[in-house]
Amino acid sequence: MESSDPKSRSERDLLQRLKRGDEDAWVYFTQEHGTRLFNFLRHRLPSQQDVEDVAADALSAVVRAIMTFDGNVTLTTFLLTIAKNKLADFYRRQPKTSELLETMVDPGSATDSIEFREVFSTVRKEYQEILQMRYQLGLSVQEIADFLGITYKAAESYLSRAKQELRKALDKDDDD
Amino acid sequence: MTMIDNFFNQKSYSERELQTLFAQYLPVEPLPPVFAAQLKERVLAEVSLVIKPARTSISGPVIFFQQAISPKRTPLARRAIKLFLICAFLTLLTLLFFSQWVSR
């Protein structure tokens, strides 16, 4: 049965336009999803140049794969899954570099922001990833579940544990 | 006491509050303008290379030209029926030949 949800309808329309090679649709997609992709990668790669290289590779891969994409997950999940594979390729090529999941600290960041980032970096990496996807990149629980290849319920409980751990980390920081 | 302390003095917080927290302390960075332009250019180049050739519609004279130079391809089902009829005809001929030979 066709979904009547406006969000999924517009997503389907966008996908159709992307498959037709509509340049305006691709420009929109690059702007909208490029920002998410960039933020997803900047917490996982050592330098700005690496982020740009992997992001460009991931978007090129999306163009090549779009014709076979059946829309069973959202475009965001599709893009981030490709980006995850590109990240794995990156770290396979550089075995000595350990995978990062920490924010590239902007030198102009306010003290509170740096403090939060420090606390956040003490949370388990898997939890940082899920919290970032949910609250920074704005992915839905279903999108996170699809991205991680787990059920909706499992994603929900994973997210809940991640929130508890963040809470604990912030409480600990309060005590110190 | 910092802003962040104030925020987390609350014992529980909602989804909205968490979103606010991240928006405030771990905000989404916009694409650097130069990189955004490069990215757009690269994507459009890839689209014209990968998607457009497959999607290019063939105009009238080109269709006429292509029909003139390319041999007509019969649909698969029609070819299968043709093959079946030929086989059946050959089998019939063989059977007729053997029946004549046996009767002699």
CATH of the domain at A57: 1.10.1740.10
- pLDDT of the residue at A18: 94
Residue A104 covered by a domain: no
- Confidence check: pLDDT of A5 > 80: no
In which domain, by residue range, is A30 found?
7-99
The pLDDT value recorded for residue B68 is: 47
Query: Out of A35, A55, A171, whose CB is closest to B28?
Result: A35
Contacting residues of B for A107, CB less than 8 Å apart: none
Half-sphere exposure of A141 (CA within 13 A, CB side): 11
> What's the rounded Cα separation, in Å, for the pair A168 and A49?
34
Q: What total number of domains does chain A contain?
A: 2
- Select from A73, A99, A125 the last residue of a domain: A99
pLDDT at B11: 54
Please say whether the beta carbons of A60 and B46 come within 8 A: yes
d(CA A58, CA A74): 16
Q: pLDDT tens string for chain B (104 positions)?
A: 455 555 555 555 678 888 888 888 888 889 999 999 999 999 999 999 988 776 554 444 444 444 444 445 567 788 889 999 999 999 999 999 988 888 87
A45 & A92 share domain: yes
Per-residue model confidence (pLDDT) at position A60: 95
pLDDT of residue A81: 95
**Same domain flag for A82 and A122:** no
Q: Decide if B25 and A117 are in contact by the 8 Å CB cutoff.
A: yes
End-to-end CA distance of chain A: 55
Share of chain A above pLDDT 70, in %: 82
Whole-number average pLDDT of chain A: 85
Copy the structure tokens of residue B97.
Answer: 């030949």
Do A80 and A147 fall into the same domain? Answer: no
Are A119 and A85 in the same domain? no
Q: Please judge whether A21 and B5 are an interchain contact, meaning their C-beta atoms are less than 8 angstroms apart.
A: no
Which CATH number is A159's domain given?
Answer: 1.10.10.10
Residues 6+ apart with CB under 8 A from A84: A147
Within 8 A of B37 by CB-CB distance, chain A residues are none
Q: Which pLDDT does position B51 carry in this prediction?
A: 86
Q: Are A94 and A115 members of one domain?
A: no
Mean pLDDT, rounded, for A147-168: 92
| A121 and A174 part of one domain | yes
Determine the residue of chain A that is closest to B31 in CA distance: A35
pLDDT digits (tens, 9 = 90+) for A62-71: 999 999 999 9
B22 Cβ partners below 8 Å, 6+ apart?
A131, A132, A135, A136
Q: Are residues A95 and A50 in the same domain?
A: yes
